[in-house]
Structure 1
Amino acid sequence: MGARQATALIPGGVGRRNGGVTVGGTQDKQPNAQLTSWFVRSGWSKGELARQVNRRARQMGALHVSTDTSRVRRWLDGEQPREPIPRILSELFSERFGTVVPVEDLGLRPAHQPPASTGVDLPWAGPQTVQMINEFSRSDLMLGRRGFLGTSLALAAGPALVEPMQRWLVPTPASGPDIPPPRDSRVRARLSEPELELLEATTVMFRQWDNQCGGGLRRKAVVGQLHEVTDLLQESHPHSVARRLYRVTAELAALAGWMSYDVGLHPTAQKYLVLALHAAKEADDRPLGAFVLSSMSRQMIHLDRPDDALELIHLAQYGSRDSASATTQAMLYAMEARAYANMGQVSKCHRAVRMAEDSYTDSRPAEDPDWISFFNEAELNAENAHSYRDLAYVAGRSPTYASLAHPVMQRAVDLFAQDSVHQRAYALNLIGMATVHLLQRSPEEAAGLTVQAIDVAKHVRSERVNTRIRKTADSALRDFGKVAEVAQLSERLAADLPEVAETA
């Protein structure tokens, strides 16, 4: 049963509360049927859930949290835990089921959330955008060992996410001519062209590191650079310089969001991506904004919300229809195909795949901005192959769609094998190829590809890669555990990726 279907079976409904319970108390408590439903379907024991809560609390610096089996039992019996426990439980169950599991759906009371500063419905104005990015990046640097930036940070989905993003399309007033800074000796001199070029080049370098090493190695360096650039934006600059600074800000915020997503910090990732879209709007860069929306769409696909993903992609396509390059258009069509595949919309998926291929034939990489340079022939094949693979799963492990995915995925793997930069993508597509072999009931080949992916993953700090390896290995062991090559996967994981093996 899928996570979204399972949500509908939770007794009591989202609005139900365990009436009469004081926070952290036990008076008038009733069993928490909602939390119990999620807990039972997770397959965890009480002891395992307690260990995971403690581990997550240590990662976020909440060293006062010490949970045991009896405490978990009291939560299931109706006790309302104090923050940060509700937020930790929300993150753990969201990761377990691959979909957003809000605190309220667990029958727990959320912390008070001031809507203007903690959600995604933010003011579309330059000064506020700069201030929010500056404050959020500073908090991340100081407190965010696991992306825990206070108890108010939560994922948005559905209309709460999509409707605020639609305001990206609302025109802003026309900008005036360049205005020099005030003639005040205390005001910093305007940035020189070499300084601006160095900021832009540094952003390119960070992006290359992410492609090669994964999001876990340089995320804090990107966040620190983002914070410094927003400091610059709070000074006076000519309009043309401010636009370039906003563009750098948008690219860095998008990269910080992508790297946060890569290491499994989904609420943090979404916040950075939303702020990146705001900065792209201030830079008047529609193609960059479309790219940010595509990253948000990819996250929604990962969280099993393809409807939201499709709406975000359509916003991106509409907003950049007259300005996006052929490469960017091809990427957007490929993401549209992924959304349709996960919705089971076969004909629309095929059409989007063809549009991606047709658009890519007009691609001119030398004229593209650097942020779209990842979308090469290998990535085009990878996205289209994953669309066919996803269709196979949605259609009940259809051999027809698996056979469509096979040659396209193999082409992606072959191309990435020749690429020394995009190592994370290589690992992800090795795993993608392994899942295709599992669909085609070729477990020996799947096990071999999984081992290759493990070898690459040891040099890439990406929780996303590790999680996909683990899930693929689990699937292989469940269906083909008696095959010798498959049976050996557990030992390889324990030896080479032990942190993945102990993470549920």
Structure 2
Amino acid sequence: MGGNENSGGTGTAGKRPNERLASWFVRSGWSKGELARQVNRRARQMGAHHVSTDTSRVRRWLDGEQPREPIPRILSELFSERFGCVVAVEDLGLRTGRPTTSAGGVDLPWTGPQTAAMIGEFSRSDLMLARRGFLGTSLAMAAGPALIEPMQRWLVPTPTGPSVPAASDGERGARRGTGLSGPELDLLEQTVVMFRKWDAQCGGGLRRKAVVGQLHEITDLLQDSHPEPVRRRLFKVTAELAELAGWMSYDIGLQPTAQKYFVLALHAAKEAGDRPLGAYVLSDMGRQMIHLGRPEDALELIHLAQYGSREGATPRTQAMLYAMEARAYANMGRPDKCHRAVRMAEETFAEITPGDADPDWIAFFSEAELNAENAHSYRDLAYVAGRSPTYASLAQPAMEKAVELFARECGEDGSGHQRSYALNLAGMATVHLLQREPEQCADLAGRALDVAKRLRSERVNTRIRKTVATAAREFGGVAEVVALGERLAGELPEGGVALAG
């Protein structure tokens, strides 16, 4: 019983207890039985039906036994999800099996035909997994040099070669006469704009599957021969769809899936020759690294984005990158660098003119978003600095301005960036927590909850739950906090967002 997944593995004789694994395990609050059940459940989702773990097996891992793959990878995923940061296999005191193949990781070939093929394969796999009821569980997060070094090749010129893979005679016959017209390309681009608007209004859980389906369909078009301008436009649409699929996956908590889509989007942006779009994708990856507690990785990605897009990026895009740089520095506890990046974001944003030809993907970065990012930088800095009241006071006016502008934008018809509105209401609630004002915190978190119920965003839900949990821990005797906790349990229970949408 419980031995199938580890047959032939390393025993415990002469082994020392695995103190690293034990530390993560104790902090998780799980029992040995609960961890065993989660491992078995995740293994079944991955198709590893030979895995059958029980409490005695978990005890042997803690005693120093080294499990065989896929157990180390599963444990890494489970603890990463539990703590909201990357917990690598090595962090658990475990050894990996054979290296992950490049197709399953982030170090992928930088060529057009292979990029199209990989996007087609990954999106098809995603759609199949969604139909079977689970998503993205066979991937692992990349971080540190394993992530940064492959992304640096974004800037390396690639040799010119055939734009499409060779097709069979039958394929060529089937595709004859399938050239894309200008209006058809226009329609594809308009579809991406529509998907992006839905995401902002409703969250990533509502239309993610539709975006992945459209992405898969467009990779079929990339198998045909096209004039170079058409090919570049197709790769640009592909990059935008892959970025949006990644963003939606990130929004509903599918972190490894999100990262893979971001990497594929960066490859497609390179094929499109669109450096600013590639920089935008890198900023998404940086935001994800901040979310996962790796601000140093985020800063590397943002600097790579800034360097790669120094020519061609509009002031709006440059301002967004400075704001993200500030977020990374804040989470690293670097107030001097954070202040400078905030100032650069504000000064660059002021250079925007009505005549700037901004692409649709950066249109979201409004005055409200600028204030929101800078407020969150100071809020994060306050936490890193030990709940500093100075940085909390710097965050407050910018956060209040962001909330005001988002409220005005969203109005009463449910349009606008509803998710951003909810996130900043929750952000303002955390600022009041830092200032030890529980009643105001409860009011703002309650307003965020009102908006969250109209969304499909696990990121919003998690942010609200964490805020309310912190308020309850610190001000459990305040009536408004107690009432909010009861309301949250009834209206936004754990697992209440549908992931497969």
Which secondary structure does the structure 1 equivalent of 2:107 belong to? coil
| In 1: Cα distance, 2:14 partner to 2:484 partner | 45
| In 2: Cα distance, 1:207 partner to 1:117 partner | 28
Which shows bigger deviation, 362-371 or 166-175?
A: 166-175
Given that 2:327 and 2:377 are in contact with CA atoms closer than 8 Å, whether structure 1 keeps it comes out as: yes
Deviation at 1:26, TM superposition (A): 5.4
| In 2: Cα distance, 1:431 partner to 1:135 partner | 38
Deviation at 1:47, TM superposition (A): 4.3
Q: 1:110 aligns with which of 81, 96, 100?
A: 96
Q: List per-residue Cα deviations over 1:293-345 (Å, max 9, x = no partner).
A: 00000011111111111111111111111100111011001001101111111
Indicate whether 1:131 and 2:126 are aligned: no
- Code of the aligned partner of 2:321: L
Deviation at 1:59, TM superposition (A): 6.5
Which shows bigger deviation, 403-412 or 162-171?
A: 162-171
| In 2: Cα distance, 1:484 partner to 1:55 partner | 40
Counterpart for residue 371 of structure 2: 381
Counterpart for residue 405 of structure 1: 395
Counterpart for residue 31 of structure 2: 45
**Structure 2 CA distance for partners of 1:104 and 1:247, relative to 1, 3 Å:** same
| In 1: Cα distance, 2:199 partner to 2:44 partner | 26
| In 2: Cα distance, 1:108 partner to 1:343 partner | 27
| In 1: Cα distance, 2:124 partner to 2:336 partner | 46
Indicate whether 1:371 and 2:361 are aligned: yes
**Structure 2 CA distance for partners of 1:421 and 1:49, relative to 1, 3 Å:** farther
Given that 1:139 and 1:149 are in contact with CA atoms closer than 8 Å, whether structure 2 keeps it comes out as: no
Deviation at 1:89, TM superposition (A): 2.2
Counterpart for residue 276 of structure 1: 265
Counterpart for residue 6 of structure 1: none
| In 2: Cα distance, 1:118 partner to 1:499 partner | 30
**Structure 2 CA distance for partners of 1:58 and 1:279, relative to 1, 3 Å:** same
Counterpart for residue 234 of structure 2: 245
Q: List per-residue Cα deviations over 1:198-256 (Å, max 9, x = no partner).
A: 11111111111111111111111111111111111011111111000000010011111
TM-score normalised by the chain length of structure 2: 0.88
| In 1: Cα distance, 2:176 partner to 2:88 partner | 45
Q: CA RMSD in A?
A: 2.7
Indicate whether 1:299 and 2:288 are aligned: yes
Alignment of structure 1 residues 409-428 onto 2, 5 Å: 409-418=399-408, 419=410, 420-428=415-423
Indicate whether 1:321 and 2:310 are aligned: yes
Counterpart for residue 258 of structure 1: 247
Given that 2:426 and 2:445 are in contact with CA atoms closer than 8 Å, whether structure 1 keeps it comes out as: yes
Given that 2:204 and 2:252 are in contact with CA atoms closer than 8 Å, whether structure 1 keeps it comes out as: yes
- Code of the aligned partner of 1:383: E
Deviation at 1:111, TM superposition (A): 4.7
Which shows bigger deviation, 410-419 or 46-55?
A: 46-55
| In 2: Cα distance, 1:27 partner to 1:202 partner | 57
**Structure 2 CA distance for partners of 1:413 and 1:194, relative to 1, 3 Å:** same
- Code of the aligned partner of 1:485: E
Indicate whether 1:499 and 2:484 are aligned: no
Deviation at 1:118, TM superposition (A): 2.0
- Code of the aligned partner of 2:153: R
Given that 1:23 and 1:81 are in contact with CA atoms closer than 8 Å, whether structure 2 keeps it comes out as: no
| In 2: Cα distance, 1:414 partner to 1:175 partner | 52
**Structure 2 CA distance for partners of 1:487 and 1:322, relative to 1, 3 Å:** same
| In 1: Cα distance, 2:347 partner to 2:456 partner | 34
**Structure 2 CA distance for partners of 1:206 and 1:42, relative to 1, 3 Å:** same
Given that 2:382 and 2:388 are in contact with CA atoms closer than 8 Å, whether structure 1 keeps it comes out as: yes
Deviation at 1:48, TM superposition (A): 4.2
| In 1: Cα distance, 2:41 partner to 2:428 partner | 33
Counterpart for residue 36 of structure 1: 22
Q: List per-residue Cα deviations over 1:414-440 (Å, max 9, x = no partner).
A: 111122221111111111001100000
Which secondary structure does the structure 1 equivalent of 2:465 belong to? helix
Deviation at 1:185, TM superposition (A): 5.2
5+ residue gaps, structure 2, are: 1-5
Given that 1:494 and 1:501 are in contact with CA atoms closer than 8 Å, whether structure 2 keeps it comes out as: no
Given that 2:330 and 2:381 are in contact with CA atoms closer than 8 Å, whether structure 1 keeps it comes out as: yes
Given that 1:466 and 1:500 are in contact with CA atoms closer than 8 Å, whether structure 2 keeps it comes out as: no
| In 1: Cα distance, 2:491 partner to 2:46 partner | 25
5+ residue gaps, structure 1, are: 1-20
**Structure 2 CA distance for partners of 1:332 and 1:32, relative to 1, 3 Å:** same
Given that 1:154 and 1:267 are in contact with CA atoms closer than 8 Å, whether structure 2 keeps it comes out as: yes
| In 2: Cα distance, 1:268 partner to 1:147 partner | 8
| In 2: Cα distance, 1:465 partner to 1:59 partner | 26
Given that 2:12 and 2:64 are in contact with CA atoms closer than 8 Å, whether structure 1 keeps it comes out as: no
Deviation at 1:85, TM superposition (A): 4.2
Given that 2:45 and 2:137 are in contact with CA atoms closer than 8 Å, whether structure 1 keeps it comes out as: no
| In 1: Cα distance, 2:378 partner to 2:252 partner | 26
Q: List per-residue Cα deviations over 1:125-147 (Å, max 9, x = no partner).
A: 11111111111111111125443
